[in-house]
Amino acid sequence: MPLSTPAEAPTRAAATASAADQADANHLTYTLPDLVCFAHLHWDFVWQRPQHLLSRFAQKGRVFYVEDAFFHADDFIEPHMEEKERQNGVKVLVVHLPHRLHGDDAAINQAQFDVLSRYFDDNGINDYVFWYYTPMALDKSRAFKPLLTVYDCMDELAQFKFAPPELRQREQELFQKADLVFTGGQRLYEAKREQHADAHAFPSSIDKDHFGQARNPELAEPADQAGIPHPRVGFFGVVDERLDIELLGQLATNHPEWQFVIIGPVVKIDPASLPHNANIHYLGGKNYQELPAYLRGWDVATLLFARNESTEFISPTKTPEYLAAGRPVVSTSIRDVVRPYGDLNLVQIADDPKDFGQAIATALEQGKDADWRTRTDDYLATISWDLTWQNMVNLMQERLAAKSPRLVSASA
């Protein structure tokens, strides 16, 4: 079923889907060409939208995930490809380049194109779909001839810290090339639909079974969290310019009776700039499999996002993940959290330290509310990564059928 989400319908891609639809998603059979993804994120960094979607594609066909090139400190190597196999057979590809090319953009892009071309030839990648997470990858890929081009715009990257100044220009070029544009949230869709005629909103979804493990009272407590007193107020995610460190510090100062657990790698900001109150505990990055065990030990989960350029268009995947774990949630007024989670009173919304503290106090009680749990689970029953993936596949097959019908067939 094709999907196009209008501005006045901020629901998930398949908000009315039934349990039968979810079963169909798991058993969907289809044929698509090889899928080649160009990404700015390392596959092994943090498990998020690209991994959820591409690992599902890899259950049905070949998937190649092209990361940014790796530069060696010397000139003794020739450009070559490194291949790493990951979940469900995803092939992670990294082009290795000598130091002598550093700073010469034209040479870098040509070298990557040459290495990729040889790899395509050696591995019989003849009919393929290109799937982009970053428009900057056009510099090494624009000379290829994909059968279909998809831009899965998960973030407004141009507004992130250290974004390349030419990113907006490259995105306009990608809009010209793309057959389909998917967006990682409703707010982002409302911006991108003005720039592409075939844009579709696919907000953050959920692996309910995985995060639902946090509801198991017998799940073992991680050793580095076990000694932290309750109540515990938690956050997991990348700790960067999107985290409101001033809000975190003020909350910790105002509420010494609460313990704040922060899980995630620190990137793009100086760790020394983080507040270091005695009741803030930075536990570092954890892998995806470990997260339910940490969530199990929290009393409230938070989305401590600053209100700035980098968060204007985000649709945090952790919102439904927290809820699937059975944790009450407090968030700053991020648009794609307010709508729908705040509007449905599933998540408490506040911005300044005083109001946020009051919202945490409310959430501590909300976690005991059977009605809140029922309403939360009813909403979560309408979304899943399987359904998101299936709707994406449907759209791709329709567009491919119109361009290359010999390559596409589908049955439920």
Give me the tens of pLDDT residue by residue for the chain, a chain 412 residues long.
233 323 333 333 333 344 444 444 444 556 789 999 999 889 998 888 999 999 999 999 999 999 999 999 888 899 999 999 999 999 999 999 999 998 888 999 999 999 999 999 999 999 999 999 999 999 999 999 999 999 999 877 656 655 677 888 899 999 999 999 999 888 889 888 988 999 999 988 999 999 999 999 999 999 999 999 999 999 999 999 999 999 999 999 999 999 999 999 999 899 999 999 999 999 999 999 999 999 999 999 999 999 888 888 888 989 999 999 999 999 999 999 999 999 999 999 999 999 999 999 999 999 899 999 999 999 999 999 999 999 999 999 999 999 876 665 543 3
Exposed / middle / buried, residue 271 (Cβ in 10 Å: 0-12, 13-18, 19+): exposed
DSSP 95-133: EEE-GGGTT-HHHHHHHHHHHHHHHHHHTT--SEEEEES
Same domain, 187 and 224: no
Q: Take residue 21 and report the two structure tokens written for it.
A: 């639809």
Same domain, 281 and 232: yes
**Residue 288 domain boundaries:** 208-380
Same domain, 351 and 399: no
The helix (run of H) or strand (run of E) holding residue 252 is helix 245-254
Round to whole Å and give the CA distance between 184 and 200.
Answer: 9
The total number of structural domains that make up the chain = 2
What CATH code is carried by the domain that includes residue 282?
3.40.50.2000
Cβ–Cβ under 8 Å, residues 186 and 342: no
The answer for 268, left when phi > 0, alpha when psi is -120 to 50, beta otherwise, is left
Same domain, 188 and 267: no
Same domain, 230 and 88: no
Q: Take residue 59 and report the two structure tokens written for it.
A: 């259950």
Give CA separation, 319 vs 227, 322, 323, in Å. Answer: 26, 5, 6
